[in-house]
């Protein structure tokens, strides 16, 4: 098969790396790709929102299957554009990608179909939001921009004054543009967070192994929210009992709800969960692989990903036996110092041979070649990934491998996996 991936980050590198291992793949393209993806695919200089050029390229090169990575093109109908041109595409249609693109839609869906999530109210007028916050809210409270905001449109406000500032930021100053035309005001929850990515074919849903993101920029979960500074898989908090509960009360009901709404969901449904004292609740849905969740989940996947993509597109996912290794993976993101605010790019990079060893991978998140030299080209630059028999071993290997990549403004967190390891010890003690 000729296969094309849309996107150019660490997630797309992990997907490309996995697709390239499939005996079903004869030729792999990636638009636009990056310097790391170029090692496993032919990169094509077409941007992610340029559907016309993507479709034209796919037709000219007899592409049999397209995989759309990022949220923006999915929300704007990339999959619809390929299908209209008679090309198979993996990912949700725009009418289903709305489960990520509109928080109001996803909250109302959960309420209507009784899927566990935080209590909430929605507002399209700032005056109404302010009145509610002054009279009815308890604190902390969570404010969420309705639309896509690069994972940054969520504000946790400890008191009324922070909440009023938040409403101004989202609804008046329009910090995230039209994404803040409506907001969700939500109950604050606590507990470990788990990311579960699920393959879906419109009817059947098959969860992959779990992962745990580290969203804040600095150690000990301090600093600003980012796209993710590291990840581990599996999450030790996500026990078999919790997985069974989520299957019956969250995953299957979500699939059925989307079908009932006339928006059958095909592609990867990413369920962000919080394991509260009252049970697992949905924090958010995403309509795609997580980044860097994909970077820890896919290296643990035994199954042929191309076969699964085809079953999802064809509506035959029930025939698939999805399998993962009984091991663990840890990803440490190497960022440009200053991310997620401002940072310098085009710093020359050196990479040692260590990554040729079994159990180590270097996925590129933001890199490019300039005059024959590998340079940085983004806030998140590399995802250093290692696998091991458990999180402790994988973490040790991943941190060892972070020394193998160097550039002048390299920044990383030093505590990826720590919370999980402490959690694991508590779980072991409690379960003895």
Binding residues (CB under 6 A) for ligand GLY: these are 151, 213, 227-228, 286, 290-291, 293
The nearer residue to ligand GLY, 153 or 280, going by C-beta atoms, is: 153
- Of the candidate spans 30-38, 188-196, 197-205, 341-349, the one that interacts with ligand AMP by CB under 6 A turns out to be 188-196
Q: Which of residues 143-162 bind ligand AMP (CB under 6 A)?
A: 144, 151, 154, 156
| Phi, psi angles (nearest 5°) of residue 225 | -70, 140
Residue 188 in contact with ligand AMP, rule: CB under 6 A: yes
The nearer residue to ligand AMP, 22 or 122, going by C-beta atoms, is: 122
Distance between CA atoms of residues 41 and 34, nearest Å: 10
Rounded to 10 degrees, the C-alpha dihedral 255/261/265/271 comes to -50
Residue 305 in contact with ligand AMP, rule: CB under 6 A: no
Contact predicate 184/122, CB 8 Å: yes
- Of the candidate spans 159-167, 187-195, 295-303, 334-342, the one that interacts with ligand AMP by CB under 6 A turns out to be 187-195
Q: How many residues bind ligand AMP (CB under 6 A)?
A: 15
Contact predicate 55/79, CB 8 Å: no
Q: Measuring CA to CA, which residue among 100, 21, 36, 137 is closest to residue 272?
A: 100
Residue 189 in contact with ligand AMP, rule: CB under 6 A: yes
Q: Determine which residue in the list 118, 164, 351, 424 makes contact with ligand AMP, applying CB under 6 A.
A: 118
What Rg do the C-alpha atoms of the chain give, in angstroms? 21
Beta-bridge partners for 286: 270
Q: Determine which residue in the list 28, 43, 142, 250 makes contact with ligand AMP, applying CB under 6 A.
A: 142
Residue 170 in contact with ligand AMP, rule: CB under 6 A: no
From the list ligand GLY, ligand AMP, none, which binds 10 (C-beta under 5 to 8 Å, kind-based)? none
Alpha-carbon dihedral sign for residues 55, 15, 383, 221: positive
User: Taking CA 249 as the corner, what is the angle to CA 248 and CA 252, rounded to the nearest 5 degrees?
Assistant: 60
3-class state of residue 273 by DSSP = strand
From the list ligand GLY, ligand AMP, none, which binds 290 (C-beta under 5 to 8 Å, kind-based)? ligand GLY
From the list ligand GLY, ligand AMP, none, which binds 228 (C-beta under 5 to 8 Å, kind-based)? ligand GLY
From the list ligand GLY, ligand AMP, none, which binds 383 (C-beta under 5 to 8 Å, kind-based)? none
Lateral strand order in the sheet of 88-90: 42-43, 27-32, 2-7, 65-68, 88-90
Residue 218 in contact with ligand AMP, rule: CB under 6 A: no
Beta-strand pair 216-218/350-351: unpaired
Residue 272 in contact with ligand AMP, rule: CB under 6 A: yes
Other residues' Cβ atoms within 10 Å of the Cβ of residue 184: 23
Contact predicate 341/359, CB 8 Å: no
Residue 388 in contact with ligand AMP, rule: CB under 6 A: no
Q: Measuring CA to CA, which residue among 252, 244, 21, 18 is closest to residue 114?
A: 252
Distance between CA atoms of residues 290 and 235, nearest Å: 15
The nearer residue to ligand AMP, 94 or 283, going by C-beta atoms, is: 283
Residue 293 in contact with ligand AMP, rule: CB under 6 A: no
Residue 217 in contact with ligand AMP, rule: CB under 6 A: no
Q: Measuring CA to CA, which residue among 271, 201, 214 is closest to residue 243?
A: 271
The nearer residue to ligand GLY, 210 or 286, going by C-beta atoms, is: 286
Distance between CA atoms of residues 375 and 285, nearest Å: 34
Residue 215 in contact with ligand AMP, rule: CB under 6 A: yes
**Residue 227: CB minimum distance to ligand AMP, A:** 11
The nearer residue to ligand GLY, 25 or 283, going by C-beta atoms, is: 283
In the complex, the residues that contact ligand AMP under the rule CB under 6 A are 118, 142, 144, 151, 154, 156, 186-189, 193, 215, 272, 283-284
């Amino acid at each position: 098969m000729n296969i094309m991936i849309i996107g150019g980050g660490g997630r797309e590198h992990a997907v490309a790396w996995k697709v390239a291992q499939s005996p079903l793949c004869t030729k792999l393209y990636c638009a636009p790709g990056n310097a790391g993806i170029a090692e496993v695919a032919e990169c094509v200089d077409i941007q992610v929102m340029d559907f016309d050029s993507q479709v034209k390229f796919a037709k000219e090169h007899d592409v049999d299957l397209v995989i759309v990575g990022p949220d923006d093109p999915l929300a704007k109908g990339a999959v619809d554009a390929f299908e209209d041109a008679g090309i198979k595409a993996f990912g949700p249609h725009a009418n289903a990608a709305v489960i990520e693109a509109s928080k109001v839609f996803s909250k109302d869906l959960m309420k209507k179909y009784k899927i566990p999530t935080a209590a909430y109210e929605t507002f399209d007028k700032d005056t109404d939001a302010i009145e509610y916050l002054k009279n009815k809210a308890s604190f902390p409270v969570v404010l969420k921009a309705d639309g896509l905001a690069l994972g940054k449109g969520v504000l946790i406000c400890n008191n009324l004054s922070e909440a009023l500032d938040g409403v101004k930021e989202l609804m008046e100053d329009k910090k995230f543009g039209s994404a803040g035309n409506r907001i969700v005001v939500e109950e604050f929850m606590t507990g470990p967070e788990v990311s579960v990515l699920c393959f879906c074919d419109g009817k059947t849903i098959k969860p992959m192994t779990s992962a745990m993101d580290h969203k804040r920029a600095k150690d000990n979960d301090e600093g600003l929210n980012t796209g993710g500074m590291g990840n581990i898989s599996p999450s030790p908090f996500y026990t078999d009992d919790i997985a069974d509960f989520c299957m019956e009360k969250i995953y299957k009901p979500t699939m059925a709800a989307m079908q009932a709404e006339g928006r059958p969901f095909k592609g990867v449904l990413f369920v962000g969960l919080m394991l509260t004292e009252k049970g697992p609740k949905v924090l958010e849905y995403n309509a795609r692989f997580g980044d860097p969740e994909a970077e820890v989940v896919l290296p643990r996947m035994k199954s042929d990903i191309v076969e699964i993509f085809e079953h999802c597109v064809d509506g035959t996912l029930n025939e698939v036996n999805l399998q993962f290794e009984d091991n663990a993976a840890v990803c440490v993101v190497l960022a440009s110092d200053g991310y997620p605010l401002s940072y310098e790019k085009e710093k020359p990079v050196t990479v040692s041979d260590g990554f040729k060893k079994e159990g180590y991978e270097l996925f590129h998140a933001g890199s490019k070649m300039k005059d024959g030299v590998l340079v940085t080209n983004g806030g998140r630059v590399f995802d250093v990934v290692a696998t091991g028999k458990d999180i402790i071993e994988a973490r040790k290997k991943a941190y060892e491998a972070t020394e193998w990549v160097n550039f002048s403004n390299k920044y990383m967190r030093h505590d990826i996996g720590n919370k999980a390891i402490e959690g694991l010890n508590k779980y072991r003690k409690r379960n003895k």
